[in-house]
Amino acid sequence: MNFTSKLPQSGITIFTVMSALAKECGAINLGQGFPDFDCDVSLRQKVEKYLNGGKNQYCPMPGLLDLRTSISEKMNLSYGVELDPDTQICITAGATQALFTAITGFVHPGEEVIIIEPAYDSYKPSIQIAGGIPVIYGLQYPDYSVDWNRLESMVTSRTRMIIINTPHNPTGTILRDADLKALEQIVKGKDILVLSDEVYEHLIYDGEAHCSVVKYPSLFQQSLAVYSFGKTFHSTGWKMGYCVGPPDLMKEFKNIHQWNVFCVNSFTQYALAEHLQDPQTYNQLSSFFQQKRNYLTERLSATPLEPLLSKGTYFQLFNYDGVSDLSDAEFAKYLTKEIGVAAIPLSPFYSEPPEQKVIRLCFAKKEETLAEAATRLAQL
């Protein structure tokens, strides 16, 4: 059968490649971003309770009202913002589905979307499927900060969307108050939607605060923000997330959502609605993961790998310039095959990778996993 691919250049993701290589080589996988420990036993018990209790049928299209209400209460506690559960929140099949829905729902053929790279790998293909044109703003090692004047110079009459990600995957950097205020001024008075990927909102370190778009009233009127229960509650395989925004934008978001997913699994929604009632389930995450970040950093301090201390997410970058002249992709393969630790190169997160020798390691692992990985990396 003859057909034309909408993504002719799309191949297997680097995460699939490196995870398969790690399995083949018996390497410790610090590449793909998922914990090697289970979620809270009390959350699993709640899921089991509702599954055994017969909560197995369709939920309302935007999600269970109890869960949307719990999210509204959480957003108020976290950011001092009151969101209407009926008109401003939609439960999605993971954050990636929410991102895809937002992009395909609002971007039309020929419209431009500014992406800040290195970037999560789903942004660009989603834009291309919608017929949009990705416009790339590239971040540079070592600070990976945004020059908002330079980004503003990329805005044209065709710009429909700007995608931001804070805390940022893969760099572990964060956007601060001055960044959000600068973005607010850039889009003010323009028909530009900000899509804010905030899936690591509770994984932020060193006493910093998460600057969410929801905290900036003018900016939020032009924004959709996306979150992930999988990242927050160590349950990435459940694929549960949600999107929030002003009522007019969420009305259109749900219009698209209903035709590609309609609703997501029911018994997990009941469990999450109950689990969110205790703010400690998410408020303790910063200290939990900061301890893991510090542990890995300290254990690798004797190696020639130079850390870029993560400010958020459960990833940390390491510069290997003092170790090898290999490209980051080849060095990641070398680590996997010869050292027994799988890492992710940074170049696949760029459309046009700059010259930099940087890899990403995931520290969302048990202490014994991190200890063994550090022991192996000490061979460098």
Long-range contact list for 72-80, CB < 8 A, 24+ apart?
73/276, 74/276, 74/279, 74/282, 75/214, 75/244, 77/279, 78/201, 78/210, 78/212, 79/212, 79/214, 79/215, 80/215
Mark residue 10 as left, alpha or beta (left: phi above 0; alpha: psi -120 to 50; beta: remaining).
beta
Mean pLDDT, residues 295-305 taken together = 96
Tell whether pTM > 0.85: yes
Degrees, nearest 5: CA angle 341-347-350: 140
Tens-place pLDDT, residues 4-34: 888 888 777 888 888 999 899 999 999 988 8
Q: Can you tell me the distance from the alpha carbon of 30 to that of 135, in angstroms, rounded to the nearest whole number? A: 30
Tens-place pLDDT, residues 184-226: 999 999 999 999 999 999 999 999 999 999 999 999 999 999 9
Percent of all residues in the chain with a pLDDT value above 90, rounded to a whole number: 93
CA atoms within 13 A on the CB side of 89: 25
Residues 6+ apart with CB under 8 A from 202: 210, 232, 282, 283, 285, 286
Domain ranges of the chain: 14-39+283-377, 54-281
pLDDT of residue 286: 97
CATH code for the part of the protein at 54-281? 3.40.640.10
Residue 213 contacts residue 196 (beta carbons within 8 Å):
yes
pLDDT of residue 5: 87
Amino acid sitting at position 88: Q
Tens-place pLDDT, residues 122-176: 999 999 999 999 999 999 999 999 999 999 999 999 999 999 999 999 999 999 9
Average pLDDT, the chain: 96
Closest CA to 289 of 267, 262, 311: 311
One-character DSSP codes across 320-343: -TTT--S-HHHHHHHIIIIISEE-
Q: In the chain, at which residue ranges do the beta strands (DSSP E only) sit?
A: 28-29, 89-92, 112-117, 133-138, 159-165, 193-197, 223-228, 241-244, 306-308, 315-319, 341-342, 344-345, 358-362
pLDDT of residue 18: 87
Residue 155 contacts residue 192 (beta carbons within 8 Å):
yes
User: Which residue's entry shows tokens 């459309």?
Assistant: 351
Mean pLDDT, residues 259-269 taken together = 95
pLDDT of residue 255: 97
Total residues belonging to the chain: 380
Rg over CA atoms, the chain: 21
User: Which residue's entry shows tokens 């060193």?
Assistant: 206
pLDDT of residue 207: 96
For residue 170, cis peptide bond before it (omega within 30 degrees of 0): yes
Mean pLDDT, residues 278-300 taken together = 97
Amino acid sitting at position 58: Y
pLDDT top residue among 345 and 13: 345
CATH code for the part of the protein at 14-39+283-377? 3.90.1150.10
Per-residue pLDDT band at 338 (split at 50, 70, 90):
very high
Token couple for 165? 């990600």
pLDDT of residue 234: 94
Residues 6+ apart with CB under 8 A from 277: 70
